[in-house]
Structure 1
Amino acid sequence: MPSNESQPITRTESLAILVASGFGALSALTATWLANRYLAPSEVTEFLLIWALIFALFSIVAGVQTEATRGVANVQIHSAQPKSHALAAPLVVGAAAALVIGLTYSLWGPHSRIPIVVIAIGIGLYTLHYGLVGALAGFERWYLFSALNGGEALIRLSSLAVAGLLFGSLFSFELAILAPVAVWWFALGMMSRQGREALWARTDVPVPRSLRNSLFAMGSSTAAAILMNGFPLILSASETPSRGSTTYLVMGALILAVSICRSPIMIPLQAFNGVAIAAFLRHRSTPLKAFAKPAGAVLGIGALGGVAAALLGPWLFLLIYPPKPTATQAYAQVAQPAVLGMLTFASAFMALLTLSGSAVLALNAHRGFFAGWAIGAVGTVAVLFTAPLALIPRVIVALIIGPALGCAAHLWWISAASRHARSEPQDSPAPTVRS
């Protein structure tokens, strides 16, 4: 039965989510380390671009997770009337995504060593994975939520290790990216009572409205993909160096640096995104106040992380990613204290955009959610393509300016919603800002 007796997340539940996010970070780090170890320098950049593409597509369909969390949590926390199955919209979106990718990939996708149909089916299945993750967050089943995310990362980690140690080919590395998506989400969902409950979860809107909300969220996650997972692809499009050139190798090293500097703050935050939405739902009457405390913590962590990266980053970067002789000069340009420190600090602005987006989504303001992410993405792309700066400083400025603009848009939307709520008569319920 739905209940509004929602409880804050416990320390052990938080620890479980942190451990799962740690596996995700380890998986990403292992992928880049193994690629740098076993592939030629030019193949490293090629692998990172395919990795970026697949995870950008993952990020786009991840919009179904936030909608599933919001709808299921509204039923469970605020006793809203259940109106449809929460996984109905992810099922439709996943099938459509697989079909579109399968039919059009050859027109826009970079060359892949694995068949296009494998990528298409993988993205479709991953959409259902995100739907189940969202439903579990809506139920606040944080242990199973952690097991689903952590297990997925462990399977990918194991697959990458096999790809590197036994095969060492670009084909095997690319295939390992998609290894966890085939059965893990469904198997784990069926193996436990809570998993089966999430598979049959109900949401507070009919299927057409759930699809509409999911598409708004996917529009936002498309913008998020540009800023995060797909950033290397946008960077490559803005620079277009010839394969094997110094600039091409610098770009590969810079992609590695952006990834490793961003992971410590972004991977845990993304893992806690469902927690954040549920928390903001409990504080819908004071959204700015609810946002202020975690925002301050994020900025503090970003500043401290930036100092630590400046002091230790160059040594750690070259220790983790020892360059091959032909790439030594390119890696030296990136492994600088100022570069790694500023890239780490820039990740705080991406974290703020993610947090403010969760706060807006808790108000059911899907247009505001989309607007903030879209402004952030447009700002980042505009800086990358137009700023009269060299490659490395241009990337740093883009990663700060775009997310800062997007966060400001989200905060404006939250402030407008709060003013609207205060203007309502005292005996009227506080309205939910709808899209």
Structure 2
Amino acid sequence: MSGGESRPVAAGRSTGAGGATQIVAATVIAGIAGYLVTWLVYRIVGPAPYAVFAIFWATIYLVVGALSGIQQEITRATHPIVVGSRARASRSRDFGVLVSGVVLVVTVASAPLWVDAVFPDEGWSLVWPLAVGAAAYVLVATLSGTLYGVSQWRSLALMIGIDGVLRLLLVGGMLMLTHDIVALAWAVALPFPLAVMLLWPVIRRGVVGRTDIDVGFGRLSWNVARTMLAAVSTAVLVSAFPLLLGVTSRGADAALVGELVFTLTLTRAPLVVSVMALQGYLIVQFRERVQGWVAFLLRLMAALLLGGAILAAAGWWLGPAVFGLVSGAPVTLGGDVMAVMVASSILVAALSVSGSAVLGRGGHLAYSTGWLLAALATVVIMALPIDDIVFRVCTATLVAPLVGLATHAAWLLGTAGWMPRRTSSEVLP
């Protein structure tokens, strides 16, 4: 904090498992709602219109994934203060409003460069819900980061759950009136601003005048730029990997590519999405645990590795039968491949945990570098001229997160001996 403009509240906020339980429960609800949205649209509008809807869905969540870096830095920087001790307006609020406006303008202004390639059928009709949804998500990310920073778990769970449920209700209601893809796109985008407006009267008392951030506007912007770089890199490893697989596998057996994408999606989604949803919670834990953060990190990693070994063994043994039952189609991938995919999911989850530890201890550059190197490793390996697509996928999904983990581990090892609890500068700038 600079200038002594606000007085922080002494440490002592809850670091128990209750917050994690609430966040995971809300994430499960939102995840189920998201799956139901995509399933309903496919079943009701048909495959061809669904393809247009799916492109919009993927595009808005790719942008949201990149902007989630805002939430991570606001989480790290936010701490509670004595009510009335802050003499000026909330910097995080001003930052969120400013960036929201910038995102809206940049999305619309840049649309002529990409609209025909991304939305060839609906064109500008889909640019507007994308721009509004992305701009509103900046406010969601800023508010969520603030809530994470002061351990307002109940409010956070409400924010996560209501966003997903609102989207399901709006899309479901819209499908009863029309199959128009533009109308459905607005139903996808509007829950971002609606969730903030609906919940603000409930949660404002816990944050207004009670929080501050430990960096100035310029440092906050620089830190957010780096966490957003990491967020984009995360998307390459997770949500954008099927796209990368398709681009680097031209001419490959379409059925095999589809089976790989389906298998990766089902093996990665449950664990990786859950752990990534807990990143804000974990960042707070690593920030607040002055003495015991190393032991906390080791316990988490041990639990992941032990659970991963059990799940990988189950994937080897039961994977083909389970996937055949779920997909209703013949399975060509062996149990060994499925075990590798499960193991790679554990490694990505571990990278999310190590990233939370690095960011929670103030290592913005190491945090973004770890994710960036993992993303680059993924792209390089997938681009290698190797005809065996299964080998390329298995190698990329295993090696890439290991590269990121090694980067984070190197920084954490150098920091474990001593680290200031609250600082606006970094050990690694």
TM-score by length of 2: 0.83
Post-superposition offset of 1:19: 1.0
**Counterpart mapping for 1:30-429 below 5 A:** 30-34=36-40, 37-38=43-44, 48-73=54-79, 84-108=90-114, 110-111=118-119, 113=122, 115-162=126-173, 174-194=185-205, 197=208, 201-240=211-250, 247=254, 250-285=256-291, 287-317=293-323, 319-322=325-328, 332-333=331-332, 337-386=335-384, 388-418=386-416, 421=418
User: Matched residues, percent identical?
Assistant: 23
Letter in 1 for 2:270: P
Cα distance in 2 for residues equivalent to 1:115 and 1:70:
34
8 Å Cα contact 2:80/2:212 also seen in 1: no
CA contact (8 A) 2:79 2:211 kept: no
Is the partner of 2:248 in helix, strand or coil?
A: helix
After superposition, the C-alpha distances for 1:358-408 in whole angstroms (9 at most, x for unaligned) are 111122121111111111110111111116153334223212211110111
CA distance in 1, matches of 2:198, 2:184: 24
Of 31-40 and 98-107, the range deviating more from structure 2: 31-40
| Structure 1 residue 349 displacement after superposition | 0.9
Asked if the contact 1:44–1:252 (Cα under 8 Å) also holds between the matched residues in 2, the reply is no
Seen in structure 2, the aligned counterparts of structure 1 residues 268 and 188 have a Cα distance that, compared at 3 Å, is same
Cα distance between partner residues in 2 of 1:298 and 1:35 = 35
| Alpha-carbon distance between aligned partners in 2 of 1:399 and 1:307, rounded to the nearest angstrom | 17
Task: Show structure 1 runs of 5+ residues with no match.
Answer: 323-327
The CA distance in 1 between the partners of 2:152 and 2:176, in whole Å, is 36
Q: Which amino acid aligns with 1:64?
A: I
The answer (yes or no) to whether the contact 1:284–1:362 under 8 Å persists in 2 is: no
Are 1:18 and 2:16 counterparts? Answer: no
Deviation at 1:205, TM superposition (A): 1.3
- C-alpha contact 1:223 1:373 (8 A) present in aligned 2: yes
**Partner AA of 1:219 in structure 2:** L
Q: Which residue of 1 aligns with 2:3?
A: none
How many residues are aligned here?
413
Q: CA deviation at 1:105?
A: 3.7
Amino acid at match of 2:32: L
Q: Is the 8 A contact 1:36 1:321 kept in 2?
A: no
In structure 1, what residue type is equivalent to 2:274?
P
Instruction: Report the Cα offset of residue 222 of structure 1.
Output: 1.3
Distance (Å, rounded) in 1 between the aligned partners of 2:317 and 2:181: 34
**Counterpart Cα distance in 2 of 1:293 and 1:126:** 33
Q: 1:32 to 1:94 in 2, by over 3 A?
A: same
Is the 2:22–2:157 Cα contact (8 Å) retained in structure 1?
A: yes
| Alpha-carbon displacement from aligned partner over 1:8-61 (angstroms, at most 9, x marks no partner) | 444443322121011132134334544664566677666555433322211110
Q: Summarize the Cα distance change of 1:192–1:365 in structure 2 as closer, same or farther, 3 Å threshold.
A: closer
Separation (CA, whole Å) in 1 of partners of 2:87 and 2:356:
22
Question: Are 1:62 and 1:218, in contact at CA under 8 Å, matched by a contact in 2?
Answer: yes
Identify the residue that residue 325 of structure 1 maps to in structure 2.
none
* Residues 83 and 344 of structure 1, relative CA distance in 2, 3 Å threshold: farther
Structure 1 156/300 Cα, relative in aligned 2: closer, same or farther at 3 Å? Answer: farther
With over 3 angstroms needed to count, the CA separation of the structure-2 counterparts of 1:406 and 1:37, relative to structure 1, is same
Instruction: Return the alpha-carbon distance in structure 2 between the equivalents of residues 434 and 84 of structure 1.
Output: 27
CA distance in 1, matches of 2:340, 2:51: 22
Aligned pair in 2 of structure 1 residues 293, 406: CA closer, same or farther (>3 Å)?
same
Distance (whole Å) between structure 2 residues aligned to residue 173 and residue 256 of structure 1: 25
Distance change >3 Å, CA 119–CA 307, structure 1 → 2:
same
Q: Return closer, same or farther for 1:175/1:298 CA change in 2, 3 Å cut-off.
A: farther
CA–CA distance in 2 between the matches of 1:255 and 1:159?
29
- CA separation of 1:392/1:177 partners in 2, compared to 1, >3 Å: closer, same or farther? farther
Do the aligned partners of residues 106 and 333 (structure 1) sit closer, same or farther apart at CA in structure 2, a change above 3 Å counting?
A: farther
